[in-house]
Amino acid sequence: MQIQETKKTIFSGIQPSGILTIGNYLGALRNWVQLQEEYNTYYCIVDMHAITVRQDPSVLKKRCLELLALYIACGLDPEKNTMYFQSHVSAHAELGWLLNCNAYMGELSRMTQFKDKSAKQGNNIGAGLLTYPVLMAADILLFNTDLVPIGSDQKQHLELARDLAERFNNVYGQTFTVPEPYIGKSGARIMSLQEPNKKMSKSDENVNAFISMVDPADVVMKKMKRAVTDSGSGIIYSPDKPGISNLIDIYASCKGVTPKEVEKEFEGAGYGTFKEAVGTAVAEILTPIQQKQKELLSDKAYLEKIFTEGADKARYTANRTLWKAQKRMGLAPRKL
């Protein structure tokens, strides 16, 4: 695959730490697919991020491959996108270290996700949880990334990546491109179906709170019907109707329309009818993706070819940036 230097660069990644939800799809993956034609894209399976909390090794191994198959099943063309496992390109960890030496404890301990996750861990909080956003910054900066398509929960981490890039450039000379976030107009923050003031998350203990990417159509329907709605009636998009607004957002992103258009389409309809329509819209997207993912997983040799070639290509570009950063910091230079 030729690197098309004229195109701007995108980098993004997803952790293989659990079964993905429609939040991951609507907030990230769907936008990646749309952006693949216009950009030079790196879509990584960030396995080293997943191990910041303890994983069962055999489950993690399986999930990594499933996630690669999901990327392709969602519509990412292996001919057009570089897809690989983060741990296969050691430059991620190496640049992570250089950036760690330029990051401050204060800014890392202020990260919302660190505060949330460490509160759940009790006394033994892994150091990786604290330095995780620095590794994420390294992921992005290695490729001189222009744009990072993410859901809004990752915006704070992207801000940190920008700060680290600017700080490094100021101290050691121009080295990194300062990346911009790309956050979709709809679906950027899909909320829990049971507690609509909380983000939909794959780690939620209540399985009715999320729709996973592998839920069959009947389960999607059941979960949608059980979704918490608000008092009153009417399909209205408003901050005082978080439950129904979340469903409107899901429907709008599935159909590629605006919340206003959804309100209009369902004017006069009851919650029951609307929930059924949302369930159908979600299942229509998920069913073909699930079929395709299953097919792909039956051809391990094909998947292996994709992640091996992806890592080879990513390694080449990543090493060039890493070596430049090492040289700037005064480490003995090597030939590019």
Please choose, out of 96-104, 117-125, 186-194, 268-276, the segment that lies near ligand TYM by the rule CB under 6 A.
186-194
Cα dihedral across residues 93, 96, 101, 107: positive or negative: negative
| CA–CA dist 85, 267 (Å, integer) | 46
| CA–CA dist 99, 114 (Å, integer) | 18
Please choose, out of 52-60, 97-105, 151-159, 292-300, the segment that lies near ligand TYM by the rule CB under 6 A.
151-159
For ligand TYM, the binding residue among 19, 87, 100, 153 (CB under 6 A) is 153
| CA–CA dist 199, 202 (Å, integer) | 10
Closer CB to ligand TYM, 114 or 271, in the complex: 114
How many CB atoms within 10 Å of residue 102?
16
The footprint of ligand TYM on residues 210-249 (CB under 6 A) is: none
Closer CB to ligand TYM, 163 or 269, in the complex: 163
The footprint of ligand TYM on residues 6-35 (CB under 6 A) is: 11-15, 23-24, 27-28
For ligand TYM, the binding residue among 63, 162, 189, 328 (CB under 6 A) is 189
| CA–CA dist 55, 52 (Å, integer) | 9
Beta bridge partners of 41: 10, 81
Q: Is 181 in the site for ligand TYM (CB under 6 A)?
A: no
CA 219 from chain centre, in angstroms, equals: 24
What is the DSSP-derived secondary structure letter of residue 314? H
**CB–CB of 165/132 below 8 Å?**
no
Q: Is 52 in the site for ligand TYM (CB under 6 A)?
A: no
Applying CB under 6 A, the site for ligand TYM has a residue count of: 26
Q: Is 139 in the site for ligand TYM (CB under 6 A)?
A: yes
Q: Is 49 in the site for ligand TYM (CB under 6 A)?
A: yes
CA 227 from chain centre, in angstroms, equals: 24
Which positions lie near ligand TYM, rule CB under 6 A? 11-15, 23-24, 27-28, 46, 49, 136, 139-140, 148, 150-151, 153-154, 157, 187-190, 199-200
